Amino acid sequence: MSKLPWKSERPPLLLAPMQGLTNAALRASFIERYAPDVVFTEFVRVQTQSRKRVAKADLTDIRAHSAEVPLVVQLIGNSAEALSEAAWRVQEAGCEHLNLNLGCPYGRMTTGATGGELLRDPERLVELLSSLRQAISGSFSVKCRAGYHDLQQIFQLLPLYEQCRIDYLILHPRTVEQKYAGQADHQLTAEVASRTFLPVIANGDINTAALGKRLLKEAGVAGLMLGRGALADPLLFRRLRGEMSDDGQDEGQRRAELVDYIEDLLERYLVRFCGERQALMKLKDLLNFIPDESLQRDLGKLKRANTVVRFRQLLEGFARA
């Protein structure tokens, strides 16, 4: 059996792949400061028209990962041959943990359906999964929606996942058609966990320590994947482990924590990205995921800053407000 990317002493907390957001600089910050058990790349597009299959920049990022925290590379594509070749290239680059994206609601490429669109064709899905399983010597997982337009489709998909010998399942209990509307149905997550021998990782709307702890206690899941909730509050990993108080901090403490978080990312982004403008654009994208109503006026000022000097001035004022 393939080795899971986490240790078994405690339920793992995974940092979700989020396109345009969970870049190498952000992953490094989270690893050093907030201690997720596993981190994922943004999805790596598998090219069907190029013999290289995986972009050079993606392979460079994979090779550069030196932290002890395991890195999982998430592939997105629609060709069994291309995905298998991409898996070999990723493993040659030093990563033994791979994941197939079956959940992105915006997954159509010019060469065909990818991501959540693949749930519309289970027969083809079996071909892709079987081919990848043969190509992957380490852990192999899928991150999926519960169905394309029907939440109950997951119970038709489960036997396919089991048959294709994936090692664990990351479930976002919405449909592809829902995109991010409504609420993730974690009663469904619990039912899925009770009906498969696969370790199930709960994903979707886990924005508070209270909800995460309840899922770990009552839903029978193996662990949690944190996405938007982690971007809004990176200390959620430590809160879930009981290393910090839950989500009841006052506004002053919340502001101080956010300033610490944003300052660290700013310095990393200035190194990672080409020029101040790109670094600020990437950071402003992240600010959109901080939901606190009382902070929106000051966050809006940060998002309008055109220089790093001005951004830092506003960030200093944000801390004192």
Q: How far is it, in rounded angstroms, from Cα 308 to Cα 224?
A: 35
What is the average pLDDT value for the chain, to the nearest integer?
Answer: 94
**In this predicted model, what pLDDT tens digit does every residue of 244-278 receive, in sequence order?**
887 667 889 999 999 999 999 999 999 999 899 99
Q: What is the pTM of this model?
A: 0.95
Third-level CATH fold of 13-240:
TIM Barrel (3.20.20)
**In this predicted model, what pLDDT tens digit does every residue of 199-228 receive, in sequence order?**
999 999 999 999 999 999 999 999 999 999
Q: How far is it, in rounded angstroms, from Cα 102 to Cα 75?
A: 10
**In this predicted model, what pLDDT tens digit does every residue of 178-206 receive, in sequence order?**
999 999 999 999 999 999 999 999 999 99
pLDDT of residue 1: 46
Domain spans in the chain, listed from the N-terminal domain onward: 13-240, 251-320
